[in-house]
Structure 1
Amino acid sequence: MKKEVTGLLIGGVFVLGAGSSVFAGPPLTNVEGVGGVALNPLAYVANPIGKDETGLFGNTIVSKPNIGAWHISLPDSDINWEAAGVNISFFNRLEIGYSHESVDIDNYAATPGTIDKDNVSAKLNLLAENSFDMAFLPAISVGVIHKSTNFNTLVDLNLLNDNSGEDYYAVATKTLTMLPVPVILNAGVLSTKGYVRGVLGFGDDRDEAFFGNIETIPIENVIVGWEYAGGTDVATGFSTHSMWEAHVAWMINDLTLVASYADTGAENITSTFPPTSFGDGWVISAQYAF
């Protein structure tokens, strides 16, 4: 799927066009298998079928897939975090995604060494960007992520409630083209019971957190951006610190390469029990849009 590219937004928004026309397009497949940035979903669906393009097997209903692989290293806590996922969209409105995460924790006695987590997601685009010929309107979507982990220790100790649960979110995304460089703003609210994004289990309290992104395209095919995910408290004593990451991405045709610095909080996994943050580290990703 060859495209003339005037820019790319990591996290996921490709900005495609010719001349002075710029259009928001597909997100990347993030760590949890949702079209978005590393941490957060975007309102755009993954890999939509463009004008005069066809989707899977030449149809105009089902998009071609978008796949992504991630490696996250948090050396302060001796954590190596891998993820791989895929997205596909229907009617350019409904996105379905899946990802598998494998989290290797060597410095925490309560873990079995490697934790496996699966995510199945659905996102519905309620309002397309610039609907009703209103140039100021963002794209607006809602979504759900079903998460399950094989880490049962905290559940078996009756400290957490379950090893599976659902996240719900609402998100708005807007591309601004009137500035010296294209800027994409993204903001939303996530509702979750997941402790450490569900990797270590799920509490009995549902908490809501703000998330947001700012993405810029300073030169062709290069994106520089920042994202933030708010902290949550899902059970007595079990909270996850807010986290942020800054990234740069480069797209070569349909291949996207990402490098990022991430900060999950000042403490590491051994600082307190239960841990709330895991220090800082680096992230790399490779993505392909068919």
Structure 2
Amino acid sequence: MKHRRPFFAFAALAMAAGLAHADTGKLRLTGGVNTIAGSAGGGLTPWAVIGSNATEGEVGFSGYATRAGTRDYGLTGYGVAVGLFDRAELSLARQDFDASPALALNGVAAFGVTPGQHIKMDVVGLKFKVAGDAVLDADSFMPQIAVGIEHKRAHPGSIQSVYNFLGVKNNGTDVYVSATKLFLAQSLLVNATLRSTNANQNGLLGFGSAAPGKNGRSLQPEFSLAYLLRRDLAVGAEYRFKPNNLQALGAAAGLGAGLREDDWKDIFIAWAPSKHFSLTLAYVDLGRIAPGVTQGRRQTGYYLSAQAAF
């Protein structure tokens, strides 16, 4: 329980800071929503924008809760972010992944996975805007550019034995750069992110791999496109390329493509009935996640997230 205390202390401080600066001038939805890792962006990938409604000279706060469900898995997430003067963003997120299908691994080896096992992961993020302004530069070709890091630590419970077999680490750090361009006259937002990572399934299956899998980092692009139907409603899509670190290890262990990792994608709609609240609903396709225990089924389903921002 000790690891929970910093999270709630951070949340309390963030809320206090956000409520102290409730009147802000940022346009609805231009600050994005909270990603599954806590930073501002789409649901799957960060944008260069700084989260919350805070503009220059202000401190803002956002908090979110997310639920995603696919054919075999479920993910619950929640977190907070603080935007500092529209220049920097500090975020903290917790993910709770229902890894029940991993029980099938006990039939492969004596892994000792307990029924109903969940993998939990904490993510601490930091993002800095380094150039441009998505709104003020809307009439030029200059995008807003930001650099960020996400430090992740997984808590796999009884699946630790599987982590040991795969030779993966329980923690790792992603580094990324994002460029976000808002074409205000065309009601269009475009984002491109390049991520350096060695995370498996975003870190839920650890980081790196034993040989002959890929243990080093790789560069993975991510893209988002959003169209504002009106000032409070946007539709869009995301595509996130993923490393495939574990497949070679799985093949060498006689599992074929049982550890293959596929790219993630979604189609979403975001509604902001007020500048302080938004809802996002998406159809997600996460490809195959540990297909060796799910008969190779594609993990398609829904993503629902609610955010409050000040």
Provide TM-score, normalisation by structure 2: 0.76
Higher helix share: 2
Q: Matched residues, percent identical?
A: 22
Q: Which amino acid aligns with 1:186?
A: N
The verdict on how the C-alpha distance between 1:278 and 1:99 changes in structure 2, with shifts beyond 3 A counting, is farther
Shift of 1:275: 9.2
**Equivalent residue, structure 2, for 1:11:** none
Q: Per-residue CA shift, 1:150-180, capped at 9, x if unaligned?
A: 12233322x233110001111100001232x
- How many correspondences in the alignment? 258
Specify which of 279, 282, 288 is matched with residue 257 of structure 1.
279
2:163 is aligned to 155
Q: Please tell me whether the aligned partners of residues 52 and 62 of structure 2 are also in contact (alpha carbons under 8 angstroms).
A: yes
Matching of residues 202-281 of structure 1 within 5 Å: 202-203=207-208, 204-235=215-246, 236-237=248-249, 239-253=260-274, 254-265=276-287, 267=288, 269=290, 271-272=291-292, 278-281=298-301
Amino acid at match of 2:152: K
| 1:241 and 1:277 in contact (8 A); partners too | no
Partner of 1:285: 305
Tell me the residue number matched to 1:106: 100
Q: Out of 61, 66, 69, which is 1:73 matched to? A: 69
Structure in which a larger fraction of residues adopt strand: 1
Distance 2:266 2:46 in 1: 14
CA deviation after TM superposition for structure 1 residue 50, in Å: 2.9
Match 1:145 to one of 141, 150, 156: 150
Alpha-carbon distance change, 276 to 136 in structure 1, aligned in 2, over 3 angstroms: farther
Task: Please state whether the residue corresponding to 1:257 is helix, strand or coil.
Answer: strand
Residues 1:206 and 1:278: Cα distance change in structure 2 (over 3 Å): farther
What secondary structure sits across from 1:197 in the alignment?
A: helix
1:88–1:273 distance in 2 versus 1, CA, 3 Å: same
Amino acid corresponding to residue 264 of structure 1 in structure 2: L
**Unaligned runs of at least 5 residues, structure 1:** 9-13, 15-24, 52-59
Which aligned pairs between 1:125-136 and structure 2 lie closer than 5 A?
125-129=129-133, 135-136=140-141
Q: Note closer, same or farther for the CA distance 1:227–1:132 as it changes in structure 2 (3 Å cut).
A: closer
Deviations 1:251-287 (A, max 9, x none): 121111111100012x464x33799985200011110
Q: What residue identity is the alignment partner of 1:166?
A: T
Distance, in Å, in 2 between the alignment partners of 1:3 and 1:89 is: 12
What is residue 82 of structure 1 aligned with on the other side?
76
User: 1:55 is matched with which residue?
Assistant: none
1:26 is the counterpart of 2:31: yes
Query: 1:106 Cα deviation (Å)?
Result: 2.0
Q: Distance in 1 between matches of 2:51 and 2:230?
A: 23
8 A Cα contact 1:5 1:221, kept in partner: no
Letter of the 1:117 partner, please give it: M
Would the alpha carbon gap of residues 3 and 251 (structure 1) be closer, same or farther in structure 2, given more than 3 Å must change?
farther
Give the CA RMSD over aligned residues. Answer: 2.5
Q: CA deviation at 1:240?
A: 2.3
Matches within 5 A, 1:51-62: 60-61=57-58
Q: Which residue does the alignment assign to 2:177?
A: 170
- Flag the 1:188–1:281 CA change in 2: closer, same or farther, 3 A: same
Contact kept, 8 Å, 1:195 with 1:239, in 2: the verdict is no
Query: What's the CA shift for 1:239?
Result: 4.7
Instruction: Report the Cα offset of residue 108 of structure 1.
Output: 1.9
Question: What is the one-letter code of the residue matched to 2:64?
Answer: G
